[in-house]
Amino acid sequence: MPALPDGASFFSAVGRFCMIFATLNYASSVSYLCVSSLTYPLDRAVLRSHPSRMRTSFTVDDANRTLPLVRRIVGDVVRDYWRWQEKVREFEAAAVERSLESPSEEADRLEREALQIARDIDGYVREISELGVQMKGFDSGLVDFPGELGGRPVLLCWQLGEPSVQYWHEEGAGFAGRQPLPSLQEI
């Protein structure tokens, strides 16, 4: 799954569903995450208006001290992301028969449930963002902590299941650019 831009919300559940999952386009001022017939606009201008209330730069020690809370919130994100995926699949199956002439209470209920899960995930991502941490992967629990290494800005990288923050990457490199953190003697 592509990484989210800094401060991006998982979903702003507005509008009807559109459905084609892996469509994340962050080039425009409004991006859309499409999952089958569910479309969630991501308004980057609105998202930027809610800056992090906590630190904007972490040392490795700071990031590791924050991990117990981050780990719990990210665990909720990942758990609910997969719940949301399943609910969308259920909605799609129920919506196949739905039309204006033949509404489906089951499809309507599943749509509401999927939207509620999306709102829950959005709340978790907001919590992460308020800590100054960037949510990057809903499916894998990937987050970045803005920091410095050797006097230059980098992102300290952690993924759910890892015992501590052990990796970093350049701001534009993403997960593929992850490198092990140097020992204190190397800095």
Tens digits of per-residue pLDDT, 71-97?
Answer: 999 999 999 999 999 999 999 988 887
Tell me the backbone φ, ψ of residue 139, rounded to 5 degrees. Answer: -75, -30
Q: What is the mean pLDDT of residues 128-154?
A: 95
Query: Comparing C-alpha atoms, which of 151, 150, 154, 156 is closest to residue 171?
Result: 154
pTM: 0.70
Q: Is the dihedral of CA 62, 68, 74, 78 positive or negative?
A: positive
Phi, psi at 166, each rounded to 5°: -130, 0
Which position has the higher pLDDT, 65 or 34? 65
| Confidence at residue 56, expressed as pLDDT on a 0 to 100 scale | 81
CA atoms of 74 and 26, how far apart (whole Å): 22
Token output for 61: 């020690």
Specify the pLDDT at position 55: 60
CB 150 within 8 A of CB 130: no
Q: Flag whether pLDDT at 23 surpasses 90.
A: no
| Block residue for tokens 């590791």 | 64
Beta-bridge mates of residue 35: 38
Q: pLDDT class for 69, splitting at 50, 70, 90?
A: very high
**22: pLDDT strictly greater than 60:** no
Judge whether residue 21 has pLDDT over 90: no
